[in-house]
Amino acid sequence: MSETVRKRRVFYIPGYDPIHPRRYRELYRKEGQAQAAISGYSLSLARKRAGGPYGWHVRSEQEGETVEADIEVLIWADIVRDSMDGSILATYGQLLRTAWAYIASGALFRLMRLRKGPVIAALYPIFALIVQLLVALGLGAAVVWALSRYLGAAVSILAVPGPLPALVTGLSALAGLALVWAALRWFRRKDGTFYAYYLMHDYAFTARWGGANPPRLEVRMAEFGATIAKALTEDWDEVLIVGHSSGAHLAVSILADLIRTGRVPAEGPALSFLSLGHVVPMVSYLPQAKRLRGDLAFLATREELTWVDVTAPGDGCAFALCDPVRVSGVGPKGQIHPLVISAAFTQTLSPERWKALRWRFFRLHFQYLCAFDAPKAYDYFRLTAGPQTLKARFDGVSHAKSLITTPANRFTSTA
């Protein structure tokens, strides 16, 4: 099988994201051109040529070679949006159920043995929503107190007989409740700043099923698998699957299903899997994640593909440098995947950019899809539009020195 790529098909599986996939095309265009200028190659985008509902075509000249790539986004944003449709009260109900799912199972405390950053990220929406509720209740209580005091004083001075004092109390209470509700609605409208509701829905989506995939998502994953299987029978040099954030664990199961069912032809294109900023333990540490744990153990030994996992300690939302297979407690004998490397934000971003992005946690979680000032082994645009397969690009590269393999998972049963 050739390790030189002239034509590549890329399937990008996003994480829990309700936004239209056009954002990924614009991100690729903007950041790809920036990386090309930094690294000294050319890269341009055009309308998609291959099938699929949403994607784009890339032409790049790198290392003296011209490469054509068709990139397709495998969409599940509609499922995400539907899961975020709950009311304010429903979201607070999710808060209670999600907290209980991670605490009662012991997953929360075991996850902290791996990386505290993503656990803090998981706790953030709980604390943020509680703070928002307390602020709203405080404002409501202040209104009730002020109205009761001043209107009550006016009634006393005027010595108005009858039910007016009781009416003042009732009106004060209604005004207070109205302000509480208005404050909660304001916080929700501003969630593009706070991300409390967004993250709460994200973790609740996983916790509701105890780590299993909901039936509707399983159907969509099967559709993704059929799309990838078709590409593996076509004239491509490499079929590259990119799974970002929670899209990484979806890709694990999709690829495991493809190999189990014999849909990876021996003489077909090179099959490659690039997982970025994974949050696998947030799922695999829950009791019903038997399918995922089984898929991790299965995929880790398969020679039909190349699997490279990229994270960075600077990404507080990912389980940086954690081998997703071994930390899930299902590392099998003969494990050969994944190769775990670091994007090393503090070394690959300029001091100025690192300073500007350091506390923008959500933006940093997407840095894997962006340009780097001084890229090392990892360059997203070389991997998706360059002339080497993933296997060839990382031939001879070793695991990150700070690789974490602690099998802290209480639940190791598989399906």
For the segment 281-321, what is each residue's pLDDT rounded down to a tens digit?
999 999 999 999 999 999 999 999 999 999 999 999 999 99
Q: What is the pLDDT of residues 3-28, one digit of tens each?
A: 899 999 999 999 999 988 899 999 99
Residue 86 · residue 326 · CB < 8 Å: no
Name the maximum alpha-carbon separation found in the chain: 96
Rounded Cα gap, residues 105 and 97, in angstroms: 12
What's residue 164's pLDDT?
Answer: 54
- Is the Cβ–Cβ distance between 326 and 407 less than 8 Å? yes
Alpha-carbon 35 to chain mean position: 23
pLDDT at residue 156, rounded to an integer? 55
Domains located in the chain, CATH noted: 7-79+213-393 (3.40.50), 86-204 (no CATH)
What is the DSSP pairing of strand 65-73 with strand 55-62?
antiparallel
Question: Which pLDDT belongs to residue 198?
Answer: 95
3-state secondary structure of 43: strand
**Rounded CA separation 336/262 (Å):** 20
**Quick one: pLDDT at residue 308?**
98
- How deeply is 157 buried, as exposed, middle or buried, from its count of CB atoms within 10 A (0-12, 13-18, 19+)? exposed
Question: What's the pLDDT score for residue 403?
Answer: 98
pLDDT tens digits, 205-225:
999 999 999 999 999 999 999
Q: Return the pLDDT at 16.
A: 97
- Which residues of the chain fall below pLDDT 50? none
pTM for the structure as a whole: 0.94
Complete DSSP assignment for 270-289: EEEEEEES--HHHHHTSTTT
Q: What's the confidence (pLDDT) of residue 368? A: 98
Note the pLDDT of residue 81. 95
Alpha carbon distance 39, 42 (integer Å): 9
